Amino acid sequence: MPRVSIQDTQQTVEIPSDAILYDALADLGVELPHGCLSGSCGACRIDVISGADKLAPAGVIEQNTIEAICEEYRQTRGPEFLQGKNIRLSCRAKVCGDITVLPLARK
């Protein structure tokens, strides 16, 4: 089973392979920020610190929302904020292996 670690916390949990990250963590009592749970609001955004290749590729809805999030960050925090970041949406990200993530604040 994949292990998910939350950066800057002591939280590491095992979740079923191919589970949606947000749902699997919520089932274990780890609640990430959320809104729509369908990939359009961006509230559940995370930075994948390690293991990005262990997530299934983003679909069109997730990719469009990530692009909007990146544009928001460019305007509010500057393009340097995005350097080294791998933004995904936890409500859409399917986990296939060990990852470490950091929830991202809006604005």
Nearest-angstrom CA–CA distance, 77 and 88: 18
Which of these, 24, 11, 22, 1, lies nearest to 89 by C-alpha position? 22
Min separation Cβ 1 and ligand FES, Å: 23
Backbone angles phi, psi at 28, to 5 degrees: -95, 5
Which of these, 10, 9, 36, lies nearest to 22 by C-alpha position? 36
Site string for ligand FES, 50-89 (x = CB under 6 A): ---------------x-----------------------x
Does 3 interact with ligand FES (rule: CB under 6 A)? no
- Closest to ligand FES by CB, 5 vs 87, is 87
Site string for ligand FES, 12-51 (x = CB under 6 A): ----------------------xxxx-xxxxxx-------
